[in-house]
Amino acid sequence: MKRYLRFDFDMATFRHLPLLAALIFATPSMARSAEPALTFTAEAMAKAGAERGVVLLAVHWDRQWSCGDYRHAQLTALAFDRAAKRKDNDQAAADITLTAPDGAGGAGVNYAFIVEPGEYWLSGYEVAAMRENSETVLLHHPRSRMIHDGVLEGGRFSVAAGELVYIGDFALACGKDPTPWRHFMGSRGAFADYLATLGEEFAGLPTDKAVFRLFETYTMGVPFTLP
């Protein structure tokens, strides 16, 4: 099935292979949450009750060649903090951490996870990159770099109890410094196709309740609402 994502410079198509729901886990340098968000299942949602919300997103973990100043680079982790549970150091575990699955290729990975309601901030990300001299480096952007003095360097999203919210598709952008970028589908038809795909991947997901409300950012994407 084709996925149509809206870029700030052009329309592009990603062809998705059949995807499996990936578990939410952490890389060694990004600590696992003590109470991680739950991958959606009908059973888990029934246990969570109406006081939780569901967040939908996709991440493209594929390697990008000639990426900025690097031979290649790959997004390897994204982390989010619930704003109501402020963390004051880089060692504290994020509330949500997503990491690249083994063998990640060109197709995006869809996620649907159950979370406590509230506002969430991007609190970290990691990129694995190779320099032209074949040296491999891990570009780690911790909480202290992403959230400081009340300023969010990345962005935020929100979900209310009982809501099902799509916040965007994330992929690596190759400027001078490789950075995550939040893309989106540019039409209601493309959004409907995406929800149909999710309904096949996540049995029992109430896609008819889904809301298109993108991760808010001015440094990793552009504002957009469905026409």
Sign of CA dihedral 16, 17, 23, 28: negative
Query: Structurally, how many domains does the chain consist of?
Result: 1
Q: Does residue 218 sit within a domain?
A: no
Which residue from 123, 126, 151, 109 is spatially nearest to 29, judged by alpha carbons? 126
What CA–CA distance (Å, rounded) separates 106 from 61?
7
User: Is 44 within the bounds of a domain?
Assistant: yes
Confidence tier at 76 by pLDDT (50, 70, 90)? very high
Is 163 a member of any domain? yes
Q: Strand, helix or coil at 208? A: helix
Q: Tell me whether residue 77 is in a domain.
A: yes
Helix (H, G, I), strand (E, B) or coil at 143: helix
Question: Is residue 116 one of the residues assigned to a domain?
Answer: yes
Q: Domain for residue 56, yes or no?
A: yes
Range of the domain at 208: 2-212
Note the pLDDT tens digit of each residue in 26-73. Answer: 344 555 443 458 999 999 999 998 899 999 999 999 999 999 999 999
- Do 127 and 137 meet the contact criterion of CB atoms below 8 Å apart? no
Quick one: which H or E segment has residue 201?
Answer: helix 188-201
Residue 63 has a pLDDT of 92
In a domain, 40, yes or no: yes
Is 222 within a domain?
A: no
In this predicted structure, the answer to whether residue 108 has a pLDDT above a threshold of 90 is no
